[in-house]
Structure 1
Amino acid sequence: MVQIGYTMMTEQAGPRELVRHVVGAERAGFDFSVTSDHYFPWLESQGHAPYAWSVLGAAAQATSRIPLMTYVTCPTTRYHPAVVAQKAATMQLLSEGRFRLGLGSGENLNEHVVGGGWPAAHIRLEMLEEAVEIIRALFAGGYVNHHGAHFDVESAKLWDLPDQPPPIGIAVSGKRSCELAGQVADLVIATEPEAELLDAFDQHGGSGKPKVGQVPVCYDTDRDTAVARAHEQFRWSVGPWPVNSELPGPAGFDGATRHVRPEDVAAAIPCGADVDAFVEAVKPYAQAGFTEVALVQIGGGHQDAFLDWSEQTLLPALRRL
């Protein structure tokens, strides 16, 4: 049975609201939760971007059962990998073993703020691979010295380590990232229901490991209202990932999606209250081999109704997948 998760979307709600939402997700019966880690929203209409790691720490204290996970953190530009290792180890302790560290090669949208430029895609993957090596070494305990192609670590040590380090997931979108994930990750992360990605992950050492996907949805009792909200806040998601990773800010995403119509968004995202449409959106992930799927309810101010509906209607239907 596919596990169903809930997304704390930092681009569309403030920090206190995000914590309240994940408490509601735990109460509603979601199997796990994930959070985005952004410095900017995709579009100005989303309107938020609190610091994900503070939100996670608060969520760890406010909940008792639901697993927590970054979806995803870039450990190469805005954060140094040694700092990511410290944050992740602390989160594993705070959550009493409920944390997973999802990593990816990042987006210009969030990483440009430190002024270091935006490397080419193959360099970003090299940096990610080196970052995971550093994080693993620090999780192992003891002092770490590292002088690599992209990072230096000078006599670093994590003084508060959990008995079991957090599992590391890697987000994939192509052959090279799947190879890297299969070799060094404990789970794989993807946002498209492509069996080829999972097959490539399995072929490089990922067989039997968790496979986590994500699906945007927009629940509302009025479908037209849901379509309008999805178009206003999530039309960026219909663009190809290579473009999404390169654009530098909300204005760029607004311009790139200027001609995306509401009906285009509605064709890609289930909108309204037809539970069958929501199940059909998740089904391709189950068929592709994903073991977990996190839902994103679009609209920061529309989570409570979604959580109530999920508990009563959506989750029971998805359990039958």
Structure 2
Amino acid sequence: MVQIGYTMMTEQAGPRDLVDHVVGAERAGFDFSVISDHYFPWLDSQGHAPYAWSVLGAAAQATTRIPLMTYVTCPTFRYHPAVVAQKAATMQLLSGGRFRLGLGSGENLNEHVIGAGWPSAHVRLEMFEEAVGIIRSLLAGDCVSHHGAHFDVENAKLWDLPDEPPPIGIAASGPRSCELAGRYGDLLVAVEPDSDLVKSFTAHGGEGKPRVGQLPVCYDTDRDAAVARAHDQFRWSVGGWEVNAELPGPGGFAGATRHIRSEDLTDTIPCGDDVQAVVEAVRGYVDAGFTEVALVQIGGEHQGPFLEWAESKLLPALRGL
């Protein structure tokens, strides 16, 4: 049976609200939760970007059951990999073993802020592979000194380690990242129901490992209002990650999506209160080979009604998958 998760979207709510939302998701019966890790929202209309790791620490104390996961953290620019390892170990301890570390090669939107430029995709993947190796060594308890092509680590050691290191998820969107995910990841992370990603992940060492997808939805009893909100806050999602990874800020996303129509979104984002539409969208992930799907409810102030609907109608229907 597919596991159904809840997404804390840091781009659309402040830190206290995000903690309240995940508490509500645990109460509603979601199987796990994930959180985005951004410095900017994609669009100004989303309006938020708190520090995900502080939110995670608070969420670990405010909840008791629901697993927590970054979706995803970039360990190469804003954060040095040695610091990411320390944060992940601490989160695993705070959550009592409920944390998974989702990692990805990043977006210019968030990483440009340190002024280090934004290299080509193949360089970013080289950096990412090196960073994952450093993180794994530190989480294994090693004392690490490393002088590589992109990172230096001098006599680093984590002093507070959990009994079991957090599983590492690797975000994939193409052949090279799928290869890295299969070789270095404990699970696959993706944002589209692409069976080729799952096949490539499996072929490179991912056999039997979890595959986690993500699906945006926009619940509202007024479908027209839901469609309008999805267009206002989530039209960036149709650009594809080859484009989205390169844009430097909300203004760039606004310009790149100015010709996107509301009807361009409704094929991929279930809008309204049709339970079966969400079930069929999740089924697409299941049929593609995903074992877990994290739902994103679009609109920060609309989480309460969504969670009530999910508890009473949506989650019972999704259990049939």
TM-score range for the pair, normalised by the shorter chain length: over 0.9
CA distance in 2, matches of 1:248, 1:106: 12
The residue that corresponds to 1:318 in the other structure is: 318
CA distance in 1, matches of 2:141, 2:278: 44
Q: Does 1:69 align with 2:63?
A: no
| Alignment of structure 1 residues 104-183 onto 2, 5 Å | 104-183=104-183
- Superposition RMSD in Å: 0.6
CA distance in 1, matches of 2:267, 2:200: 28
The residue that corresponds to 1:234 in the other structure is: 234
CA distance in 2, matches of 1:240, 1:93: 35
The residue that corresponds to 2:254 in the other structure is: 254
CA distance in 2, matches of 1:142, 1:33: 29
Give the secondary-structure state (helix, strand or coil) at the position aligned to 2:145: strand
Deviations 1:69-115 (A, max 9, x none): 00000000010000000000000000000000000000000000000
Give the number of aligned pairs.
321
Q: Does 1:268 align with 2:268?
A: yes
CA distance in 2, matches of 1:21, 1:240: 28
**1:4 Cα deviation after fit:** 0.2
TM-score, normalisation: structure 2? 0.99
**1:281 Cα deviation after fit:** 1.1
**1:241 Cα deviation after fit:** 1.2
**1:179 Cα deviation after fit:** 0.6
Runs of 5+ consecutive residues of structure 2 not aligned to the other structure: none
CA distance in 2, matches of 1:117, 1:207: 36
Q: Does 1:224 align with 2:224?
A: yes
Give the secondary-structure state (helix, strand or coil) at the position aligned to 1:267: coil
Q: Does 1:38 align with 2:38?
A: yes
**1:142 Cα deviation after fit:** 3.6
**1:268 Cα deviation after fit:** 2.1
TM-score, normalisation: structure 1? 0.99
Runs of 5+ consecutive residues of structure 1 not aligned to the other structure: none
CA distance in 2, matches of 1:268, 1:81: 34
The residue that corresponds to 2:289 in the other structure is: 289
The residue that corresponds to 2:48 in the other structure is: 48
Percentage of identical aligned residues? 79
* 4+ aligned runs moved over 6 Å, structure 1: none
Deviations 1:189-228 (A, max 9, x none): 0111111111111111100000000000000000000001
